[in-house]
Amino acid sequence: MKSKEPAIPLEHWIGYRFSLIAARLGNYVAQMYKDRHDLTMPAWRSLAVIARYEPITAKQLANLTSSDAFKVARAIELLVRRGLIRRDIDKDDRRRVSLRLTAQGRRIYKDIETFSTRVERELVAALDERETATLRQSLDKIDQQLETRIRARDWKTFLRE
């Protein structure tokens, strides 16, 4: 890959900035759900995705959390053991299991959601309505570009182009 364009400084790399912001934000919120509810990050993510999309299969959960099957399986086991989710056997396909929140899981989810929503509102308070809409549209475009133009080919092909 030969380019005559100047290099982009590290602090301007989109992936670098996203990872820094996501890590700082995630670590901040993680303190709350760890201290108040004794949940790990994968368990919280799984709980949140199940709350949003229930009933959901473990495979769907893995896709929606971008986690590997092992982490998802451990999170599911933790959540079931704690009584926060239940596994229901699919009536049409007994090999498939649907995941749903229990009443206790819903209460914990709501507590963390309330906190996370407050943090989210505080973050976007730095932006006006137009900037917020532009940010969301820009993130959608970047995500679409990543999926259709970059991840659509392997890194070796990308490097050769």
Of 106, 110, 90, residue with least CA distance to 98: 90
- Per-residue model confidence as pLDDT tens digits over 32-85: 999 999 999 999 999 999 999 999 988 899 889 877 888 889 999 999 999 999
The answer to whether 116 touches 52, Cβ cutoff 8 Å, is no
Which 8-state DSSP code applies to residue 56?
B
- Per-residue model confidence as pLDDT tens digits over 106-158: 999 999 999 999 999 999 999 999 999 999 999 999 999 998 988 888 888 88
User: Burial, 44: exposed, middle or buried (Cβ in 10 Å; 0-12, 13-18, 19+)?
Assistant: buried
Question: What whole-number distance in Å separates Cα of residue 99 and Cα of residue 83?
Answer: 12
Question: What's the pTM value of the predicted model, to 2 decimals?
Answer: 0.79
Q: How far apart are the first and last CA of the chain?
A: 7
